[in-house]
């Protein structure tokens, strides 16, 4: 954002919560860079979280997650739905038994109780928006048997082993 | 999205609703290009709407609006809140009595009953994501007196007259 110059349009102040400017390297004014989850609570690697909108008047929150090159989110499932738009970079996502390549502005809908995980490619970060209900259930991690069942698919096993393209 | 080539990762099919690929010129696979509103129902110019996520399991919808160069959304207010992220181009928004320049990835929070309008610059389209409650009230248009009150501010009057930078 910048001063428009004409017509006395005021320059945005960082203190105005209503308008938060995009900054360098996918940060925003007045938005904290948070840990993805509590360390040790679940498996993940190289991922951060920023809460872009969390208004009690809205039924959902909008968050921005960024996975460092080669990193990944937790493999998990839950009753609540995720509505994802990729915002930066390229990577792959596991959705149920399927691995797909995802890139900028692609849309991913994660239905209830569907195993899912995002992985950034080795060479670049993967950033994405995620819309989610404000009230939601706790994610479940796969049991050894569930993980073994997922791994019977060669593409899924390669994905889970972090074989990047 | 593209076939990853390795590990037998399947190419995404356009028919898979869960994964919708970003396409040329800010369109998405399996997402219809809609009118912004019913023609004649309210003042607006050069604006389209795409519903990216509207899942009954989610409390909110995510829409993408795109305003053609020099176009504008309706000047309106309502009880429901908008959570906006600019996705494409540059323009200006009126929020209450304030006009601000907005560009790619900037965040705009529109509180209840706050007059607001988006305008694209003359030279480029302005595209933005808008998260909104699925259940919401009908927008109100300004009365002549309310419009006159807004126009007492010179920057607001210039904005409403479409004076682009």
β-sheet bridge partners, residue B128: B65, B86
Indicate the range of A160-164, B92-96, B97-101 predicted with least confidence.
A160-164
Write down the pLDDT at residue A14.
35
Give chain B positions within 8 Å (CB) of A53: 83, 107, 109, 131
Terminal Cα distance for chain B, rounded: 37
Chain A, chain B: beta-carbon pairs less than 8 Å apart: 193
Q: Do B129 and A95 touch (CB under 8 A)?
A: no
Nearest-neighbour CA in chain B from A139: distance (Å): 16
Q: Does pLDDT of B14 surpass 60? A: no
Write down the pLDDT at residue A2.
43
Write down the pLDDT at residue A165.
54
Give chain B positions within 8 Å (CB) of A131: 53, 58, 60, 62, 131
Nearest-neighbour CA in chain A from B161: distance (Å): 11
Q: Do B109 and A165 touch (CB under 8 A)?
A: no
Q: Residues in chain A with pLDDT < 70? A: 1-16, 164-165
B10-21 exposure pattern, b = at least 16 Cβ within 10 A, e = fewer: eebeeebebbbb
Write down the pLDDT at residue B162.
92
B101, B105, B134 ranked by CB distance to A9: nearest: B101
- Could you give phi then psi for residue A115, rounded to 5 degrees? -60, 135
Percentage of chain B with pLDDT > 90?
80
Give chain A positions within 8 Å (CB) of B8: 154-155
Give chain A positions within 8 Å (CB) of B106: 1, 19-22
Q: Is A60 a catalytic residue?
A: no
Q: How confident is the model at residue B165 (pLDDT cuts 50, 70, 90)?
A: low
Q: Give the contacts of A26 (CB within 8 A, at least 6 positions apart).
A: A64, A66, A87, A88, A127, B105
Q: Does pLDDT of B148 surpass 70? A: yes
Catalytic residue (one of A47, A86, A102, A130):
A130
Q: What mean pLDDT value characterizes chain B?
A: 89
Write down the pLDDT at residue A13.
39
Catalytic residue (one of B47, B102, B126, B130):
B130
Q: Give the contacts of B16 (CB within 8 A, at least 6 positions apart).
A: none
């Amino acid at each position: 954002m910048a001063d428009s110059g004409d017509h006395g349009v005021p320059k945005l102040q960082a203190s105005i919560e209503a308008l938060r400017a995009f900054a360098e390297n996918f940060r925003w004014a007045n938005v904290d860079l948070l840990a993805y989850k509590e360390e040790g609570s679940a498996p993940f690697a190289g991922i951060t979280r920023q809460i872009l909108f969390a208004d009690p008047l809205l039924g959902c929150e909008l968050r921005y997650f960024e996975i460092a090159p080669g990193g990944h989110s937790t493999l998990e499932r839950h009753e609540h739905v995720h509505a994802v738009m990729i915002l930066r970079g390229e990577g792959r996502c596991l959705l149920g038994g399927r691995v797909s390549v995802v890139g900028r502005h692609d849309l991913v809908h994660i239905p209830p109780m569907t195993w899912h995980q995002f992985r950034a490619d080795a060479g670049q970060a993967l950033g994405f928006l995620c819309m989610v209900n404000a009230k939601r259930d706790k994610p479940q991690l796969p049991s050894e048997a569930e993980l073994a069942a997922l791994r019977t698919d060669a593409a899924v096993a390669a994905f889970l082993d972090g074989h990047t393209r």
